[in-house]
Structure 1
Amino acid sequence: MSGPNTSYDPVQVTPLDADHVEAAVAEALAAFAAATSLAELKAARLAHAGDKSPIALANREIGSLPPQARKDAGRRIGQARGQINAALKAREAEIAEVELANRLIDERVDVTLPVDLGPEGAIHPITALMDQMIDVFVAMGWEVAEGPEMEAEWLNFDALNFIPDHPARTMQDTLFVGEPDSGVVLRTHTSPVQARALLDRELPVYVVCPGKVYRADEYDATHLPVFHQIEGLVVDKGITLGDLRGTLDHFARAMFGDTRTRMRPNYFPFTEPSAEVDLQCFVCHGSSVGNPDQPCRTCRSEGWIEWGGCGVVNPRVLEACGVDSSVYSGFAFGMGVDRTLMFRNDAEDMRDMIEGDVRYSRSLQGLAR
């Protein structure tokens, strides 16, 4: 760069010449117009509007002019740079619009074309049946109660009137967490949820308690060490065994259609009186009993199928949970969800339920009533 003039002698600085500036602008506009992509336009911008472009170099030469000539040259260079930047911005918008349109065409997806879908999953039949069971009681105004699977031994046994040396407490049936005297077990039934409901809720209580339970059972076609139960508990004033019978009949019809229940006396620590619940065979409806010409595989021609246990809540259980047994009474029942699924869908092996084969889940969904 030449040094500044201190006298007003015209100095010819080529980059600031009007013709030279016009030529630089024309060159820049032509380069921008010739660019067909943003990458090409970027190269043209660096060449004609960057720090080393003719216009940038001319701008630096303004300082070499006498003070009286700088204003003219500055205005000329300023106008040229504004013209170049405006043309660059306009061309950039044009190219971006064209590239977007081309990209939309190239990446277009025809949603009407057939596609190969991945295999569909299926709700596990145990989950589906448990939800269906819960719906029966929710429709009657009951609440759903849940509790932890790792439970305090007091809630699992003592609160439910299991004596200290009851066989169910032994390692043969119960899975203890830690040492046997730890006081913590994997719950052997969902009944602890009933005790929790009585301790935590205001009376009256109408709850259904679904969940997973654990026992040291054999692993075979009809037994699993981890299985599912659903239990019901009602505690209110004036509750009788007749209320229990009506509830079970309604539940059985919801699950199996045109069937009914019967009760056989039994013993459970947490109910008194207690009973086993049998279903009238929903296949033969008892017609196979004593009829060798029409045997029934479902009930083995006995006419009834064992379903679960039930009874009137033992006053000791009510008192253990802080309920006045002279004012309140109640009933409770419990059924195996896995066994109910076997009954409803003619499933022969409970082990198939835990294999995780989606084909099995689909097959039982197809058979669901």
Structure 2
Amino acid sequence: MSGPNSDYDPVEVTPLHADEVEAMRDAALAALAAADSLEALKQARIDHTGDRSPLALANREIGALPPQARKDAGMRVGQARKAVAAALAERQGVLEAEAEARMLVDEAVDVTLPTDRTPRGARHPITTVQEKVADIFVGMGWEVAEGPEVEAEWLNFDALNLGPDHPARTMQDTFWVSPASAARVLRTHTSPVQARTMLTRTPPIYVIAPGRVFRTDEMDATHSPVFHQVEGLAIDEGLSMAHLKGTLDHFAQAIYGEGMTTRFRPSYFPFTEPSAEMDLLCYVCHNEPGAVAQCRTCRGEGWVEWGGCGVVNPRVLIANGVDPQRYSGFAFGIGLDRTITGRYDIADLRDLFDGDIRFTEPFGVEI
């Protein structure tokens, strides 16, 4: 048997000659150093470290060498590829830093420059009017009271002299919360806030209760199952309808301007006695001769319906722990949605709830 072949040329594969490997390494280092952008560096990386690069092809040729020569050739090629990889990482870090520095200069924004950008959106008129009403009464020394929207049946009805057989308790008007044994409803007015106030405080009491209320109305141009009210309650010694009229006249003037006034028409509400529907002097024609007949807002009446009011029924005072022999009071309630639609000649109540920014934009950002 013959012995192993020891007669070979260790550099018989040309790409693996020491000078060839050094030449490939130097060419790669020069190309990387010459790259002046990340794009140029990417191309240099493909050309000199990719699968078809000279050093990669030389690495494949190691297998063609006799076993005794593979170690030296592998070390030469490996050191060359390692030097190229280190140079690539260093050059990439430099170019990325330069690119970021250029970006900070080229894309800099001067935030102090004036802009003609149109403001996005606007405050909703319901929010604006509700807060304006609160400001008016706070300026008069009143307080703003709040309560839950899911309310106890007793507070929503019984405490306000709405007996078990009252029509408002039926499913036609009220959203009842399941199960029925819970005796809870979505409040049909903000009057339960007044009841809560009387039960927890000692007169004198002067509060308004703005908020969202719920009734089982079909959604159309003039009705909504969800709407907004503001109710007022005053409990003190010696209060009468005269105080109610003065309060509402001041309120009307604060909302609509000097000269605005209200009038009362006899009506009925279980929680007030006597009760009245309050009308607002038409804010368009002001009931002036020659203008009232052509006014579309009041339809020739000279007055616009605004809400209900009256002297608090003694039964309500007793139910809520107030002595009717010592104290009297008045209350009123106004629909904010109807107030807005009438004041701004909005034909469809649904416009208030559709969420269309084109509707709210004309109202601006008044605060």
Length-normalised TM-score, structure 2? 0.69
Aligned position for 1:277 = 278
Aligned position for 1:286 = 287
Which amino acid in the other structure matches residue 334 of structure 1? G
Decide whether aligned partners of structure 1 residues 359 and 102 sit closer, same or farther in structure 2, where only a CA change above 3 A counts: closer
User: In the aligned structure 2, how far is the partner of 1:162 from the partner of 1:319?
Assistant: 14
Aligned position for 2:297 = 298
Aligned position for 1:342 = 341
Aligned position for 1:239 = 239
User: In the aligned structure 2, how far is the partner of 1:365 from the partner of 1:101?
Assistant: 42
The aligned runs of 1:1-369 (5 Å cut-off) are 105=105, 108-111=108-111, 117=117, 120-257=120-257, 258-287=259-288, 294-365=293-364
Decide whether aligned partners of structure 1 residues 113 and 135 sit closer, same or farther in structure 2, where only a CA change above 3 A counts: closer
User: In the aligned structure 1, how far is the partner of 2:280 from the partner of 2:118?
Assistant: 41
- Equivalent residues, number: 277
Q: CA deviation at 1:283?
A: 1.2
User: Is this contact kept in 2: 1:256–1:344, CA < 8 A?
Assistant: no
User: In the aligned structure 1, how far is the partner of 2:269 from the partner of 2:355?
Assistant: 34
User: In the aligned structure 1, how far is the partner of 2:193 from the partner of 2:224?
Assistant: 21
Name the SS for the 1:262 alignment partner.
strand
User: Is this contact kept in 1: 2:272–2:309, CA < 8 A?
Assistant: yes
Decide whether aligned partners of structure 1 residues 236 and 357 sit closer, same or farther in structure 2, where only a CA change above 3 A counts: same
Decide whether aligned partners of structure 1 residues 287 and 195 sit closer, same or farther in structure 2, where only a CA change above 3 A counts: same
User: Is this contact kept in 2: 1:221–1:349, CA < 8 A?
Assistant: yes
Aligned position for 1:5 = none
Which amino acid in the other structure matches residue 209 of structure 2? C
User: In the aligned structure 2, how far is the partner of 1:315 from the partner of 1:117?
Assistant: 58
User: In the aligned structure 1, how far is the partner of 2:217 from the partner of 2:101?
Assistant: 68
Which amino acid in the other structure matches residue 350 of structure 2? R
Q: CA deviation at 1:222?
A: 1.0
The superposition leaves residues 124-167 of structure 1 with CA deviations (integer Å, 9 ceiling, x where unpaired) of 11111111111110110110000000000000000000011000
Q: CA deviation at 1:175?
A: 0.4
User: In the aligned structure 1, how far is the partner of 2:113 from the partner of 2:255?
Assistant: 43
Greater shift in the superposed pair: 107-116 or 201-210: 107-116
Length-normalised TM-score, structure 1? 0.68
Name the SS for the 2:148 alignment partner.
coil
Identity of aligned residues (%): 62
Which amino acid in the other structure matches residue 211 of structure 2? G
Greater shift in the superposed pair: 248-257 or 150-159: 248-257
User: In the aligned structure 1, how far is the partner of 2:268 from the partner of 2:248?
Assistant: 18
Decide whether aligned partners of structure 1 residues 304 and 106 sit closer, same or farther in structure 2, where only a CA change above 3 A counts: closer
Structure 2 gaps, min length 5: 1-93
User: Is this contact kept in 2: 1:345–1:364, CA < 8 A?
Assistant: no
